[in-house]
Amino acid sequence: GAVVSQHPSRVICKSGTSVKIECRSLDFQATTMFWYRQFPKKSLMLMATSNEGSKATYEQGVEKDKFLINHASLTLSTLTVTSAHPEDSSFYICSASLGQFYGYTFGSGTRLTVV
Amino acid sequence: LAKTTQPISMDSYEGQEVNITCSHNNIATNDYITWYQQFPSQGPRFIIQGYKTKVTNEVASLFIPADRKSSTLSLPRVSLSDTAVYYCLVVGGSQGNLIFGKGTKLSVKP
């Protein structure tokens, strides 16, 4: 089945630094990938839709200059949290789909802690 | 996008059948229904998906009435490891994005 690999699983960084999270579709090509963030005991919130070869589409209220998304190939999308602050600490999850009838596969998530 | 409503939490005991119902009154003709399971600090895992009537796989069944305004996820003989949050989502079109509701936190007790 479809596998989405997300790295790192856990990262701690200092305030003001940038962190890159990778999302790879291992055995399929994904023209579209999605990025979510999740706060403790809350549901997943869609941040943006990553489109291969074009600009990402951001949800309302998500700062595109803060959360840089690059989808340079059909198997890799990256999310860079720039100038991270403690309020950016969260669980970030990516997902991709093989197509409408195959469901969406999610990465294992990245726990970001900004100190 | 169709909004979904499901119970915030449910309790069950090992070996029981659990049914979680989700309302999606504004579902469109092209939308289909999908359910995910999430454990703490993990990404959601696909459980089952359907368009109408009944769908069954090795882990669950999904019942969808004719009007498609609701759906019921049925987990047969739950175990402690089924304790998780279950999300009902309605997805439209090709590779439409997934918008998560609040989910149902299922607690299975021994």
| pLDDT tens string B16-67 | 999 999 999 989 898 899 999 999 999 999 999 999 999 999 999 999 999 9
Give the model's confidence band at A61: pLDDT under 50 very low, under 70 low, under 90 confident, else very high: very high
- Contact (CB, 8 A) for B97 and A49: yes
Nearest by CB: A43 against B45, B49, B100:
B100
Nearest by CB: B97 against A34, A99, A108:
A34
Nearest by CB: B44 against A32, A106, A111:
A106
Mean pLDDT, chain B, rounded, equals 92
What are the tokens at A58?
Answer: 């951001």
Q: Is the peptide bond before A8 cis (omega within 30 degrees of 0)?
A: yes
pLDDT for position B96: 64
By the CB < 8 Å criterion, does B100 face chain A? yes
Q: Is the pLDDT of residue A100 over 90?
A: no
Q: Which residue has the tokens 């941040």?
A: A47
Which residues sit opposite A32 in a β-bridge?
A51
Give the mean model confidence (pLDDT) for residues A75-87: 96
pLDDT for position A69: 94
Q: Is the pLDDT of residue A1 over 70?
A: no
Give the mean model confidence (pLDDT) for residues B64-90: 96
Q: HSE (CB half, 13 Å, CA atoms) of A3?
A: 3
pLDDT for position B3: 85
Q: What is the 3-state secondary structure (H, E, C) of chain B?
A: CCCCECCCEEEEECCCCEEEEEECCCCCCCEEEEEEEECCCCCCEEEEEECCEEEECCCCEEEECCCCCEEEEEECCCCHHHCEEEEEEEEECCCCCCCCCCCEEEEEEC
pLDDT for position A101: 62
Q: Which residues of B touch A31 (CB under 8 A)?
A: 95
Which residues sit opposite B41 in a β-bridge?
none
Nearest CA distance, B8 vs chain A (angstrom): 11
pLDDT for position A99: 66
Q: What angle do CA B46, B82, B101 make, to 5 degrees?
A: 50
| DSSP-derived secondary structure letter, A27 | S
Q: Is the pLDDT of residue A98 over 90?
A: no
pLDDT for position B78: 97
